[in-house]
Amino acid sequence: MKLLFSPTSPYVRKCLVVAHELGLNGRLQLQASNAHPINRDREIIQSNPLGKVPTFFTDDGQVLYDSRVICEYLDTLAGGSLFPRSGPARWEALTLQSLGDGMLDAALLARYEDAARPEAIRWPEWRAGQLDKIETSVQHLQARPALLAGRVDIGAITVGCALWYADLRFADFGWRARCPAVAAWYAGFSQRPSMAASWAL
C-alpha cells in the first residue's frame, strides 16, 4: 500500500494515526508529494484529479481519496472498530469526524490566506472567520465533554488531528485557556503512541 505524503498535512496525519492504531503502519509506503492549492502537483493529478493529499493506492492498484474513504478502508482491511458498524454509535462517530474535518478545512483556509495569498490582497476578516469556526467547534466540545470522553474512534482521532494542526499553524490561538476540558482530554489523547508518532521520508 502506498500513501502520497506531506509531513504537515493534517489529513495525511489522520490516515497515518488510523493505520498506527490498526497495526498497519508498517505496511504503508510513504511517497513524497507537493500538493499546493495554486502550484498544483501534476503527478498527484494523474491519480487524483483533485490534486490533493492524501491519495492512497491499495495493494491491488485501486486509488482512494479523501481521508474519510482511506481511513474507513484501512479499518475494514484490519477488521478494526474505529468506525462503528451501525446504530447511534456510528452516526455519533461520523458526525464527530465531520466536526474535526470541518475544523481542519477552516484551519487550512486560514493557513492558505497566510501562506499562499499575496500579502497585498489578504483578507483578515476571512481568516478571522475561519479561525472562528475552530473556536465555535472547540467551544461545542467544551460544553459537551461526553462527546470525547473515553473514545478511540474516527471521531476522536479526527478532532485530535485538528487540534494538533491548530497548534502547529496557529500557536497563538490559545484555545486551551478557553476550553480546559478539551485541553485535558487532548493532553491525554495526544499521548497515545499513534498520536505522538512522527513521520518523515
pLDDT digit string (tens) for 135-160? 999 999 999 999 999 999 999 999 99
State which residues form the domain around 188. 87-196
Q: Which residues of the chain have pLDDT under 70?
A: none
β-sheet bridge partners, residue 32? 5
**Which pLDDT value is given to residue 41?**
87
C-alpha cell of 9? 498535512
Q: What gap in Å lies between CA 72 and CA 8, rounded to an integer?
A: 21
Answer yes or no: do 173 and 96 share one domain: yes
How confident is the model over 9-20, as pLDDT tens digits? 999 999 999 999
Domain identity same for 55 and 117: no
Q: Which pTM value belongs to this model?
A: 0.95
CA–CA gap between residue 68 and residue 77 (Å, rounded):
14
201 falls within a domain: no
Of 33, 52, 78, at which residue does a domain stop? 78
Q: Are residues 128 and 35 in the same domain?
A: no
pLDDT of residue 39: 86
| 17 and 68 assigned to the same domain | yes
Q: Read off the CATH number of the domain in which 55 is found.
A: 3.40.30.10
